[in-house]
Structures are given as structure tokens and as C-alpha cells.
Amino acid sequence: MRIGELSQRTGVSPRSLRYYEDQGLLTSSRSDAGQRHYSDAAVQRVSLIRQLFDAGMSSRVIATVLPCVDIPDDLGVAEETFTAMLRERDRIDADIAHLIETRDALDVLIRANSRHRAELSAAPQSVAQSN
């Protein structure tokens, strides 16, 4: 299939598909006219790449992880991939901890704002002065 069809089937723009290819995440063959052609398996590959990007992984990390899918019987690849996945999981855990801290700080501000709004609504309203 050509890049337009892959784009339609995956919901990923042709520009992103070309980027994936430039980063070594996706491969295609070329026609004599230079058009990209993808196998049917590219649909699943793009879906996996999107999941990894959505998890916050960079293209560099994804390129480290994908060989585990491509060469599942290579112990060296499996070890490298395992290490990369643990590192990414630790990064995601740190991001989650930071988001929780940020949410907690926002909760403090929300409570303070709620008290302030309650005080304002309980106080007599002053008449705005006009010039």
C-alpha cells in the first residue's frame, strides 16, 4: 500500500509516517518512481509506534525497544530492550509523581479560592463608584 492508504488506515499523517521512516521505526520499499510502498504489517507497526509515543517515549527510545518485536529470539536484544523499558517505566513513574505533586498544589489553591469566594459572597456588596 502507498503512504496515503497507510495514513488513512492508521489515522497517522503522511508527514508522521515519513518521520517514522527517517527515524528507523518503519520501513518501506520504493517503486521505480520513488513512491513508498508498505506491507500490510505496517498498519500494526504504526499502531504500536503510536502507543509508544502516546506513553511519552521518544523516537530514540522507541527505536531501542522495537528490535525486541523484530528479533524476538535474540537474548542480547531482549536484554537491551528490557533495560530500556525499565528506564522508561522509571521515567513515567517520576512524571506521575510530579503530576500528583502538581495536582496536590492545585488542590490547595482551589480550597483557598473556594474559601475566598465564600467570604466574598457572604460580605455585603459594595456599590461600584463611577467617574
**Domains recognised in the chain with CATH numbers:** 3-119 (1.10.1660.10)
Q: 5, 12, 75: which is closest to 25 by C-alpha? A: 12
| pLDDT (mean) for 59-82 | 87
| Residue 108 pLDDT | 98
Q: What is the grid cell recorded at 29?
A: 520499499
Cell of 86: 525499565
pLDDT of residue 10: 97
Q: What is the pLDDT of residues 17-37, one digit of tens each?
A: 999 999 999 999 999 998 999
Q: What angle do CA 93, 96, 101 make, to 5 degrees?
A: 130
At 88-119, the pLDDT tens digits run 899 889 999 999 999 999 999 999 999 999 99
Prediction pTM value: 0.68
